Chains A and B, each alone.
Chain A
Amino acid sequence: GAVVSQHPSWVICKSGTSVKIECRSLDFQATTMFWYRQFPKQSLMLMATSNEGSKATYEQGVEKDKFLINHASLTLSTLTVTSAHPEDSSFYICSASNQRDRTDTQYFGPGTRLTVL
């Protein structure tokens, strides 16, 4: 149980275009979803936390207008990278947790590799 999927697994786009990444919890209700970014050979950095039906809370230094996060349902959150540029190329990982089960266990998706040309 507790499977999280991401789509697409990889995407290549031109500079200036927008890219949407989906994160789905397949067999549980994700009251909270998290978006992380990972640069090559570096650790994960939390970008934002979103609770279902609420606006996302962004970490310091993360541009909310550039990284749009929507968490409209208990099984789906989306991250849209708007007007992407080469420096946005990275590995994006989402995770999900169900706060109602009173644990802080986060279940991670497989990640999405974004390459901006």
Chain B
Amino acid sequence: AQSVTQLDSHVSVSEGTPVLLRCNYSSSYSPSLSWYVQHPNKGLQLLLKYTSAATLVKGINGFEAEFKKSETSFHLTKPSAHMSDAAEYFCVVSDDNDMRFGAGTRLTVKP
């Protein structure tokens, strides 16, 4: 069985400061890990995906995530937050067609 835990339900940062959204996973196999963003009343958009290639994965909109097997973590980061980054972010672990979503982290960006 696989699962994912997002350690913070809400993160608030000031515009221009770094963003860190934390995710830990549990999987019996080599996992495929992803981060999705969801803006209010919208569907999901894939930010980035790790599939056992480079451990540092670069995604869209300046986001990146690092896969750390020893820590079973896949934290999402961005050097400088923008107002448009305010949204809900989901960490996802998947194996074949079995996708498990984290509970989500709401990112608030203050001016």
Contact = CB atoms under 8 A, between A and B. Distances in A.
A44 B97 contact: no
Interface band, chain A: 20 to 34
A108 B43 contact: yes
A112 to B, nearest CB: 10
Contacts of A99: 97
Contacts of A115: none
Nearest to B9: A41
Main secondary structure of the interface of A (DSSP, over half): strand
Main secondary structure of the interface of B (DSSP, over half): strand
A45 B90 CA distance: 12
B43 A43 contact: no
B104 A42 contact: yes
B97 A93 contact: no
Interface in B31-81: 32, 36, 41-46, 49
A17 to B, nearest CB: 23
Given A4-B43, A99-B97, A111-B41, 8 more contacts: A41-B104, A42-B103, A43-B102, A44-B101, A46-B99, A93-B43, A108-B45, A113-B41
26 contacts: A6-B43, A41-B106, A42-B103, A43-B101, A43-B102, A43-B103, A43-B104, A44-B90, A45-B101, A46-B99, A49-B97, A91-B41, A93-B44, A95-B44, A99-B97, A104-B95, A104-B96, A104-B97, A106-B99, A108-B44, A108-B46, A109-B43, A110-B42, A111-B41, A111-B42, A113-B41
Closest 10 CB pairs of A and B: A110-B43, A108-B44, A43-B101, A111-B43, A108-B43, A44-B101, A43-B103, A43-B104, A109-B43, A104-B96
